[in-house]
Structure 1
Amino acid sequence: MDLRDSDRHWLLATILYSELSPSATRNIAVEQLLRRSTRSADLDDSAPSNDGRSGRSLFPEAPSDPKKKIGMYPPLFYAACTAGGLVSCGLTHMAVTPLDLVKCNMQIDPAKYKSILSGSIALLKEQGLGGFFKGWVPTLLGYSAQGACKFGFYEFFKNYYSDMAGPEFVEKYKTLIYLAGSASAELIADVVLCPMEAVKVRVQTQPGFARGLSDGFPKFVKSEGYTGLYKGLVPLWGRQIPYTMMKFASFETIVEMIYKYAIPVPKDKCSKTTQLGVSFAGGYIAGILCAVVSHPADNLVSILNNAKDATVGDAVRKIGLWGLFTRGLPLRIVMIGTLTGAQWGIYDAFKVFVGLPTTGGVSPASADSPAVKLSKLT
């Protein structure tokens, strides 16, 4: 163990002037010295490193917790975020399958399914209670894969773009970093979601097409080929990329504002329960904004995946410009607000479980901070 001069003097004085036996004194002194060394190392680690990372990352540092299992930035960190996204998105989307079923049918056949209530009653009469859970398997699989890529790659790209911006610009352009990171992540996530989304919509909106994924997937491929599974990819990007950009950027901003203006103590002084409550509240508000921004594309995705030869032009002519923005919107606001709030709550709860800090609430250090100034010199 490499001792500093101050530590050597302290250790010698402790042994010489203690009233305990030499062996007991030595053991106690060594134990206390180890604690002093650990605290010193923690302080040293917080100083700017040669790669300039300290003082400008958009990630808060993990708390000094003896139960902490995972640090920040290594591959295991991104693996944990990927797992958290898989759990949060898969479970929440599966739970709102009945609402999604009503919404999709309202978008496809508004004359028959005029409102949430009348549409739900009509579906109940036609398909029974079990019919409300049609498509839950492709929903679970598709959105689990999408959530894994969305959250995992968001954390990766957020850190990557922070590195690109550099310490002097990360605070100034943090919103652009959130937007770019989430858009990059969703671009990848939708590629894995698209096939399951296509099968889900067809199962939910065409009575008699299939019972679920096991017979619906091969039937879809036989009818339209494997390329047909990606017919809705561009509209899906049109729906999901703006949705995810709003979901992450607004969440980060809202959570930061809550800790800044609504809670009288710093985030690191709040209990984990309070932090998770803030995550849910920020996620719910962000979800409402997401629903409004992405709703026109959501209508297009439903119509395109319901009809074999439909085009974007056909869908717009069928639903009309006003209907494109409003049809099914109230139900989607309720569904997406609840969904997004629950996703952020589950995701951050998973991060807390593995020893990571919750998302958001800590603004990056400004370019004028001592840490950033020092990082420029090293």
Structure 2
Amino acid sequence: MIQKARPALLPPQDVGDTVETLMVYPVVKAFLCGSVSGTCSALLFQPLDLLKTRLQTLQPVDQGSRRDGMLAVLLKVVRTESLWGLWKGMSPSIVRCVPGVGIYFSTLYSSKQYFLRGHPPTALESVLLGVGSRSVAGVCVLPITVVKTRFESGRYSYGSILAALRSIYRSEGRRGLFSGLTATLLRDAPFSGIYLMFYSQTKRTVLRGFPCSVSDPSDSAFTPAVHFGCGIFAGILASLVTQPADVIKTHMQLSPMRYQWTGQAAAAIFKDYGLGGFFQGWVPRTLRRTLMAAMAWTIYEEMMAKMGLKS
């Protein structure tokens, strides 16, 4: 009796390599989609980030003056540093965003695939995914974030990003490169967790309410507008909650020798500026973070859909 030949089985190591390749390839796509989306939004909204930093670092003597508003600061920058002065800090912003947003989205994508196994995240799962992904990205790019903040403040005159990193390392050591780490995590991790929770839940609710004539809401021409609108809503809420941590982070990165830990910086800000000091620059920051996150997620989701991947 002739037996049919059985198909040859791959050695265990080959099976592992194949699975690993299949997992890594989508993660690389997610990284590229995230990097492109982060770069586009960073280029557009850098002026808002610069205005936020300038407003947060106004001297206490200027507080209460009608000249410390966002429009006044914008006009002052244009008058003293030209229109292109609004894009000061653009190079470190791009250097930070390209890998930073890419790391965030690729970590988020791989975490979803590993932990959720394809089912939609609950509100708590969205918070945990956002917190974990942003923490990883935030730690990886923090030295560039420190350089970016100092470029935007106008208080430091570094020749280049590399020169800034060398100067900070020589004068302040590794601690200087990671100044404001705790405050940054207290800002970014909750922001991403809250943002992802509201974004995911709102998007699901809105898409579920599409007319019955739309067989697949995810393929609708209105989907980008839905993504952007949900991103705006989620961004406003997340920005307001995390604004105090952003102010503390800015002060610690600009004056690392004065502030040795987060509580010390918070106490000094309260003493010099009062409770309102923790919300300095909230308007440009809310505009920037909200629009930037909404645009980044819209571009990311559209690119992932074009590549045949579910975000």
TM-score, normalised on structure 2? 0.82
- Does 1:319 pair with 2:269? yes
Match of residue 244 from structure 1: 192
Which blocks of at least 5 consecutive residues in structure 2 are unaligned? Answer: 1-21
Amino acid at match of 2:293: T
Match of residue 9 from structure 1: none
Q: CA deviation at 1:324?
A: 4.5
Q: CA deviation at 1:133?
A: 1.3
Please give the per-residue CA displacement for 1:28-78, whole angstroms capped at 9, x wherever unaligned: xxxxxxxxxxxxxxxxxxxxxxxxxxxxxxxxxxxxxxxxxxxxx732222
Match of residue 193 from structure 1: 141
Which of 82, 85, 90 matches 2:34? Answer: 85
Aligned counterparts of 1:263 and 1:78: Cα–Cα separation in 2: 33
Aligned counterparts of 2:228 and 2:257: Cα–Cα separation in 1: 41
Structure 1 residues 269 and 115, CA, compared in 2 at 3 Å: closer, same or farther?
A: closer
Amino acid at match of 1:257: T
Alignment RMSD, CA only? 2.3
CA contact (8 A) 2:180 2:249 kept: yes
Which of 157, 161, 173 matches 1:213? Answer: 161
Match of residue 232 from structure 2: 284
- Does 1:127 pair with 2:72? no
Amino acid at match of 1:153: T
Q: CA deviation at 1:201?
A: 0.8
Structure 1 residues 300 and 84, CA, compared in 2 at 3 Å: closer, same or farther?
A: same
Which of 178, 199, 202 matches 1:254? Answer: 202
Structure 1 residues 269 and 318, CA, compared in 2 at 3 Å: closer, same or farther?
A: closer
Aligned counterparts of 1:275 and 1:301: Cα–Cα separation in 2: 35
Match of residue 352 from structure 1: 305
Aligned counterparts of 1:267 and 1:192: Cα–Cα separation in 2: 42
TM-score, normalised on structure 1? 0.68
Please give the per-residue CA displacement for 1:255-276, whole angstroms capped at 9, x wherever unaligned: 0010123554557255453222
Amino acid at match of 1:103: K
TM alignment of 1:1-378, pairs within 5 A: 74-109=23-58, 111=62, 114-163=68-117, 174-261=122-209, 263-265=211-213, 268-269=216-217, 271-311=219-259, 312-320=262-270, 322-357=275-310, 359=311
Aligned counterparts of 1:109 and 1:94: Cα–Cα separation in 2: 25
Please give the per-residue CA displacement for 1:129-182, whole angstroms capped at 9, x wherever unaligned: 22211111111111222111111111222232225xxx9xx67x7222212222
CA contact (8 A) 1:251 1:286 kept: yes
Aligned counterparts of 1:240 and 1:158: Cα–Cα separation in 2: 19
Return the index of the structure with the highest Cα Rg: 1
Q: CA deviation at 1:235?
A: 0.8
Q: CA deviation at 1:282?
A: 1.3
Aligned counterparts of 2:155 and 2:277: Cα–Cα separation in 1: 24
Structure 1 residues 342 and 267, CA, compared in 2 at 3 Å: closer, same or farther?
A: farther
Structure 1 residues 188 and 267, CA, compared in 2 at 3 Å: closer, same or farther?
A: farther
Aligned residues: 280
Aligned counterparts of 2:56 and 2:190: Cα–Cα separation in 1: 20
Structure 1 residues 345 and 331, CA, compared in 2 at 3 Å: closer, same or farther?
A: same
Q: What is the identity percentage for the equivalent residue pairs of Structure 1 and Structure 2?
A: 21
Aligned counterparts of 1:268 and 1:142: Cα–Cα separation in 2: 36
Aligned counterparts of 1:95 and 1:267: Cα–Cα separation in 2: 35
CA contact (8 A) 1:259 1:267 kept: no
CA contact (8 A) 1:236 1:297 kept: yes
Q: Which has the higher helix share?
A: 2
Aligned counterparts of 1:99 and 1:267: Cα–Cα separation in 2: 40
Query: 3-state SS of the aligned residue for 1:106?
Result: helix
CA contact (8 A) 1:158 1:178 kept: no
Aligned counterparts of 1:185 and 1:326: Cα–Cα separation in 2: 26
Structure 1 residues 105 and 356, CA, compared in 2 at 3 Å: closer, same or farther?
A: same
Structure 1 residues 158 and 269, CA, compared in 2 at 3 Å: closer, same or farther?
A: closer
Structure 1 residues 128 and 244, CA, compared in 2 at 3 Å: closer, same or farther?
A: same
Please give the per-residue CA displacement for 1:187-207, whole angstroms capped at 9, x wherever unaligned: 211111201110011121143
Q: CA deviation at 1:350?
A: 1.2
Which blocks of at least 5 consecutive residues in structure 1 are unaligned? Answer: 1-72, 360-378
Aligned counterparts of 1:139 and 1:338: Cα–Cα separation in 2: 16
Please give the per-residue CA displacement for 1:292-318, whole angstroms capped at 9, x wherever unaligned: 121111101111111131323443234
CA contact (8 A) 1:96 1:335 kept: yes
